[in-house]
Amino acid sequence: MTEALALLGFGPTGWGDEILAGVGVTIALALATLPVGLTIGFFVALGKQSEEQTIRLAANIYTTIFRGLPELLTLFIVFYGAQIGIQTAYAWITGSETVIEVNAFVSGMIALGVVFSSYASEVFLSAFRAIPKGQYEGGWSIGLSGWNTMRLVILPQLIKIALPGLANLWLILLKDTALVSAVGLSDILRQTGIAARVTKHAFLFFGTACMVYLLLAIISSFFINRISDWASKSEAAR
């Protein structure tokens, strides 16, 4: 027991500080992916409920592809594909070949972002459908432009309806960041994996990794509850 505590402690002999750095990377990746995924997801949802058939088709192709591919495969395709693509483009423009390493953090952000957005678009779409048409008409009738109706009337209601679904997606995103350890980003799982290999205490360290992920989920739930309390405040007036 004391040995385990010493291994998880801070300082030169313990692995606590290394794991903590990994926690930082995981949180940073998840937080950086969130706005990317939400923005793309919102626009894909707009496309899916468009009256124009071709926009719907394009949006549906997007979600079919990225919800059908395993997250790990999407990550590898982005990671190696971007590398090959950039190298080819560089060689084509400058005529000289170089080896370009693509940043694991950025590829993780892109891959997880597109996966997140394709699921988020479904959440947004069902939220859009829950908003009655009269809300748009009400906005227009008091002279708001299309964009302002969206921003001032629809979006606040949309966020409230979509919140439980998006909270779920956030928890899934937090777990999916673990995959980025496979392309070499030093997140929680990679750091604990190194510690496990060096110290031969695999169960202790991977168990710790699981506990850290659980802790992150619990902390997220706390904040999600705060946000949903805040969002439901406007309901009390009714």
Partner 1 sequence: MTAVTAKVQKPIAPPKPWTRERTIGWALVGLWIFIIGSLLLWMVEAWNPELFDRYFPKYVSGLIITLELVAASIVLGALLSFPIAMMRMSRNWLLNKISYAYVYFFRGTPLLAQTFLIYYGLGEFRPQLEAIGLWGFFKDAWNCGVFAFTLNTAAYQAEILRGAINSVAPGQWEGAASLGVPKWLTFFKIILPQAFIVALRPYGNEIILMVKGSAVVAIITVYDLMGETRRAYSRSFDFQTYIWAAFIYLAIVEIIRNLWDVMEKRLTRHLIR
Q: Does 81 bind partner 1 (CB under 8 A)?
A: yes
Contact residues for 202 (Cβ-Cβ < 8 A; gap 6+): 196
Enter the DSSP assignment of 103. Answer: P
Closest separation in Å from C-beta 233 to partner 1: 28
Closest CA to 204 of 46, 63, 69, 3: 3
Closest separation in Å from C-beta 75 to partner 1: 10
Closest separation in Å from C-beta 98 to partner 1: 16
Enter the DSSP assignment of 151. Answer: I
* Structure token pair of residue 165: 């679904």
Sign of the Cα torsion 143, 148, 152, 154 reads: positive
Closer to partner 1 by Cβ: residue 154 or 171: 171
- Measure CA of the first residue to CA of the last residue in the chain; give whole Å: 56
23-42: contacts with partner 1 (CB under 8 A): none
Site string for partner 1, 208-237 (x = CB under 8 A): -xx--xx--xx-------------------
Q: Which residues bind partner 1 (CB under 8 A)?
A: 47, 50-59, 61, 64-65, 67-73, 76-77, 80-81, 84, 171, 175-179, 181-182, 189, 193, 196, 200-204, 206-207, 209-210, 213-214, 217-218
